[in-house]
Structure 1
Amino acid sequence: MTTITTKDGTNIFFKDWGPKDAQPIVFSHGWPLSADAWDAQMVFFANQGFRTIAHDRRSHGRSDQVWDNNNMDQYADDLAELIEQLDLKDVIFVGHSTGGGEVTRYIGRHGTSRVAKVALIGAVPPLMLKTEANPDGLPIDVFDGIRKGTFDNRPQFFKDLTLPFYGYNRDGAAVSEAVRDEFVRQGMNGGLKGLLDSIRAFSESDFNEDLKKFDKPTLVLHGDDDQIVPIGAAALSTVKIVKQAVLKVYEGGSHGLTITEQDRFNADLLEFINS
């Protein structure tokens, strides 16, 4: 396995495909998945001449399952160590869901000196949790329910979660049982403690100040039928903060649009990268 070891001794697994001297695209996955969620994008963009890299977040996939430090600051610092150890420059960041938060916090903590462009896909910033200052967010009860479902019967909860995740609960949806099974497989590879901690990380992290530090071209892409990260408190709020942001909305699009609309998504991301 290809790994780096972080300063706190955690082994982070990553994939590194395509020509090593090409411009890198770094993909950050959503909860509770792993780098495998990006396989189709990695192959597509490697075939377009890019170096494609995706890692398993700590306590997810094949990376070490740690008891402490499963939080957004540490995720961003792990990403920084990966980029620095591989000496990546002119990076194109692509972050989905929690991965969009990870990328956003990376910029907030480490700046954009190594960054060329950013794509936030169904991403959690600026803040998922409903507060007085964020009335469009989701109430804490929603996230408590995710915690309970994950703790009580993780495989069943993950299987059920695929229905709203991919929009499979909508009339006329073409349901893939294989995609549902793969979601469960990736989720079950993570450590339970780390996945539980990550729920707080993706739901309660406030990215408003991080987004204000964006100074690179940014694509904000979101489905308007995203049942996991509703577009109002996410993409529509992000583009009000990031001056360089271009908003692209998929009508009827789900949270899992990188899978359900794979070819369209790959083409739109390539167009943004080449623009």
Structure 2
Amino acid sequence: MPYYESPVDGTRLHYTDHGPADGPVAVFIASAYLCSEMWEYQTLPLAEAGFRCVALDRRGHGRSEDTWNGYDLDTLADDVHALLDHLDLRGVTLVGHSVGTAEVIRCLTRHGGARVARAALVAGVSPGLVRSPNLPEGIDPALVRTDEEAFRRDRAGWFTHFADDFFAVQQPGNDVSPAYVSYMIDRCLVATPRAATAVRAVVAGLDLTAELPDLDLPVLVVHGTHDTSAPLALTGERLARLIPGSTMKVYENGGHGLFATHAARLTADLREFLEAGAVRSTESAAA
């Protein structure tokens, strides 16, 4: 299995690498709790279409090594950048979902864009959710603490309770089978208790407002109108306003789990975004 070591502390991190080695490269960063399997409806068809699709299992998630430390955003971003170095990838499109968008943003602002050509931010919790000086309309911290207590008391029950809202199954067209939902819950429970609670702490303290204007590359923001995990007005719309020249696509009736409920549309939008980057790279090389 493909592994590399984090340059921060030597943690062994797992990744998948599908598609032709010389194809345009997309690197996928999953939601909290989930891992590379989350992206199957994007990475498989894109790899079959000629794109190289690399997907990371965050530390403490999936098949990556469990650790106690390293769940601060800087280290998580360093882990992402180390994967690009390990595979010597260039002209990359970084694709992040939920907290993965924060890792993508911090990777860019911390390490620059020498290896990265563009970024897609899908159902992001960025730039932040919880009330702060930069987000006075954010979620009440007291509600976040109550939710954290419920999560620590019964993770399996918490995932089960919020699964329907995650996929917005109440909205028309958001058809996911009970078997798939059960599979996703099982995958979430593979993340260790330490990793799960530590990444939740990253989300609770997240405020990337000041970093977003520094992003100097094409950015695609994708968000659903019925995302209860990351409400559109707090997250996606703010991202699009704060990132210079970004493109936003809003999915009507979409929840947080767009990768499944809107799989074909998301894959098509990502393919279009990747192809635009490939054309630009070809034109730059020719010039």
Q: Which residue of 2 aligns with 1:151?
A: 152
| Range with greater deviation from structure 2 (236-245 or 130-139) | 130-139
| Range with greater deviation from structure 2 (207-216 or 257-266) | 207-216
CA distance in 1, matches of 2:206, 2:222: 20
How far the C-alpha of 1:94 sits from its partner, in A, is: 0.7
For residues 95-174 of structure 1, what are the structure 2 equivalents within 5 Å? 95-170=96-171, 174=175
Q: Which residue of 2 aligns with 1:3?
A: 3
For residues 248-267 of structure 1, what are the structure 2 equivalents within 5 Å? 248-267=249-268
Q: Which residue of 2 aligns with 1:51?
A: 52
How far the C-alpha of 1:172 sits from its partner, in A, is: 7.7
Matched residue of 1:196: which SS? helix
How far the C-alpha of 1:128 sits from its partner, in A, is: 1.2
Structure 2: gaps (5+ residues):
277-287
Matched residue of 1:209: which SS? coil
CA distance in 1, matches of 2:245, 2:185: 36
How far the C-alpha of 1:272 sits from its partner, in A, is: 2.2
CA contact (8 A) 2:224 2:251 kept: yes
CA distance in 2, matches of 1:209, 1:87: 29
For residues 197-216 of structure 1, what are the structure 2 equivalents within 5 Å? 197-216=198-217
Matched residue of 1:240: which SS? helix
CA contact (8 A) 1:159 1:183 kept: no
CA contact (8 A) 1:107 1:213 kept: no
- Report the count of equivalent residues: 275
How far the C-alpha of 1:91 sits from its partner, in A, is: 0.2
CA distance in 2, matches of 1:242, 1:26: 20
CA distance in 2, matches of 1:178, 1:142: 31
2:131 partner letter: K
How far the C-alpha of 1:47 sits from its partner, in A, is: 1.2
CA contact (8 A) 1:62 1:190 kept: no
CA distance in 2, matches of 1:248, 1:160: 28
TM-score (norm 1): 0.95
1:271 partner letter: E
CA distance in 2, matches of 1:139, 1:169: 25
How far the C-alpha of 1:80 sits from its partner, in A, is: 0.7
CA distance in 2, matches of 1:173, 1:82: 34
CA contact (8 A) 1:158 1:183 kept: no
How far the C-alpha of 1:146 sits from its partner, in A, is: 3.5
| Range with greater deviation from structure 2 (30-39 or 135-144) | 135-144
Give the 3 Å change call, closer, same or farther, for CA 171–39 of structure 1 in structure 2.
Answer: closer
How far the C-alpha of 1:173 sits from its partner, in A, is: 5.2
Give the 3 Å change call, closer, same or farther, for CA 246–157 of structure 1 in structure 2.
Answer: same
Matched residue of 1:215: which SS? coil
| Range with greater deviation from structure 2 (41-50 or 200-209) | 200-209
CA distance in 2, matches of 1:98, 1:164: 17
Give the 3 Å change call, closer, same or farther, for CA 25–173 of structure 1 in structure 2.
Answer: closer
How far the C-alpha of 1:186 sits from its partner, in A, is: 1.1
What are the superposed Cα offsets for residues 24-66 of structure 1, whole Å, 9 maximum, x if unpaired?
A: 1000000111111011211111112111000111111111111
Give the 3 Å change call, closer, same or farther, for CA 163–142 of structure 1 in structure 2.
Answer: farther
2:134 partner letter: A
What are the superposed Cα offsets for residues 193-217 of structure 1, whole Å, 9 maximum, x if unpaired?
A: 1110110112312112321221111
CA contact (8 A) 2:117 2:217 kept: yes
For residues 227-246 of structure 1, what are the structure 2 equivalents within 5 Å? 227-246=228-247
Q: Which residue of 1 aligns with 2:21?
A: 20
Give the 3 Å change call, closer, same or farther, for CA 230–87 of structure 1 in structure 2.
Answer: same
CA distance in 1, matches of 2:87, 2:139: 38
TM-score (norm 2): 0.91
How far the C-alpha of 1:136 sits from its partner, in A, is: 2.8
